[in-house]
Amino acid sequence: MSKLDLVPLSDKLFLVNAPNEGRFPLSHSFLIRGEKTVLIDTGCGLDVCRALMEEFPIEAVYNSHAHPDHIAGNFLFRGIDIFTPDVRSMETGTLDILATRLVGPDPKVMDFWKTFVRQFTGIEDYEATGTFSDGDILDFGGITLQAIHTPGHLEDHFCFWEPENKILMSFDIDLTGFGPFCGNPESDIQAFMESLDKVMALKPAVAASSHRPPIFKNAGRALQAFQDKFARNDQSILETLDAPKTLEEILALKPIYKKYFPGGEVLYRFFERNMISKHLARLEVQGRVTLAGGQYRVL
Ligand SMILES: [Zn+2]
């Protein structure tokens, strides 16, 4: 029996369901079946990637951004073109480079991350053969996609837009209840909000993210609700400040994550610390909190 579970978004564009509904550390991929057959993202599980290669004459792979849960299967496509975003394109390809970029500089966190990512995604190093840029129109024969740079989640995060049927492939603008992930050093809340404005302005009819089933109704409302999660996270952090607290004291209350993936505490603390710091920086700029003597307090 085929391991493939394809959800049609149009007659030429399919979401490739990853096991466990694409929950991290997996992610859905997208299959383009125009005159060219193209796969976008390879984090749908190594077995699913292998089944895709068996069933379809895949001519090229594109990556939405450099997170391992989106690129883990790249190494299986050795010998065919692999295109990555042109943003920070030299800082992907090996787990060592990615560890420095995504979870550096503490070697303890980096080592833990590498072991965790290897174990849960099966990733191996790969070589990209080219890049794509913001605004690029990718013509696959009968279906055309536009690359849209949507930084914030990571600096190199891209969406793809299929204009004919108004389908937004939103990747880690993932439209889950957790909300926007900004846990890496390069993540940026302001940029993320502006990226959301950019894709909402397209008025998509369908929004298909990497970590949940596609949204065929009220896609705009789902994008707005996702953007509103920034304010929810602000609020969750403010609620911890019934008395002045240090960053570490706020972190101990897990205001954003509430609970951590069992065994992954080292990483999740790292991610949540980054997210809380970025929210606090924004709340400081807005004049809603102040930092004095290492403690944050509400104004
Ligand atoms: Zn990501």
User: Looking at the predicted structure, is the pLDDT value of residue 113 above 90?
Assistant: yes
Q: Which pLDDT belongs to residue 121?
A: 95
Domain containing 172: what range? 6-228
In total, how many domains does the chain have? 2
**108 and 199 inside one domain:** yes
Calculate how far, in angstroms, residue 172's C-alpha sits from the geometric centre of ligand 1.
Answer: 5
Cβ(130)–Cβ(83) below 8 Å: yes
> How would residue 1 be classed by pLDDT, with cut points 50, 70 and 90?
low
pLDDT digits 0-9 by tens, 220-278 = 999 999 999 999 999 999 999 999 999 999 999 999 999 998 888 999 999 999 999 99
Give yes or no: residues 245 and 255 share one domain: yes
- Ligand 1 centroid to Cα of residue 148, in Å, is 15
Q: Are residues 89 and 148 in the same domain?
A: yes
Distance 70 CA to ligand 1 centre (A): 7
Per residue in 10-24, pLDDT tens? 999 999 999 988 998
Per the confidence metrics, is the pTM higher than 0.95? yes
Residues 6+ apart with CB under 8 A from 35: 140, 141, 142
Boundary-marking domain end, from 228, 262, 281:
228
Asked if residue 176 belongs to a domain, the reply is yes
Q: How far is the CA of 184 from the centre of ligand 1 (A)?
A: 10
Query: Strands 130-132 and 81-85: what pairing?
Result: parallel
| Domain final residue, candidates 177, 211, 228 | 228
Residue position matching structure tokens 């970029």? 101
Contact 80, 249 (CB under 8 A): no
Report how far ligand 1's centroid is from the alpha carbon of 16 (Å): 17
Residue 279: partners with Cβ closer than 8 Å, 6 or more residues away: 189, 230, 233, 234, 237
Shared domain for 263 and 207, answered yes or no, is: no
Domain boundary among 228, 252, 282: 228
Do 98 and 201 fall within a single domain? yes
Q: State the average pLDDT over residues 83-103.
A: 97
Distance 142 CA to ligand 1 centre (A): 29
Residues 27 and 111 in one domain: yes
